[in-house]
Amino acid sequence: MPSAKINEATQREWRELGFFYDRDDSAKEWRIAGSKGNLNCFVKILRDYAADARNDVISEHEHYGPYMYLEIGTWSTPEITDHWIAGPLDKLLELAAVVESRIEQANVGDSIELREAFSPASPYEIVLEVKDESFDPALADSACW
């Protein structure tokens, strides 16, 4: 069992990331949860990654979150797998625009699926869960309480 200091650090890292994520391998889904403002942090990650010219190399990648298993990467074609969300930088920018647009139109309680818009043939789905503005991503991680 992690110490109180480890749990506090994990909670802080979720809050700094701005949203909660988890990967459900049985459902083959990346689930990303947050308020509209929180989910825009995911948009920012995608845009920042795609804007960095150093990432314009196949297999380049960045890890995010307290457990570092959310990975955004560069690949020759868009894909969503158990390993990562990846594609050419221009396609990641397009994904960011789709996410931003769908968040803007969403209501609290909505689930937004992104595979069809980004990579229809991918084995995994990305599901955004729109929560209310009081959503705390740290509270969604039962492992750090």
Taking residue 59's Cβ as centre, other Cβ atoms within 10 Å add up to: 10
Percent of the chain with pLDDT over 70: 100
pLDDT of residue 1: 73
68, two tokens: 């570092």
Rounded to an integer, what distance in angstroms lies between the CA atom of residue 38 and that of residue 129?
A: 11
pLDDT of residue 144: 87
pLDDT of residue 50: 98
pLDDT of residue 32: 98
Indicate the pLDDT class of residue 14, thresholds 50, 70 and 90. very high
Q: What's the mean pLDDT in 104-112?
A: 98
Q: What's the mean pLDDT in 50-72?
A: 97
pLDDT of residue 2: 77
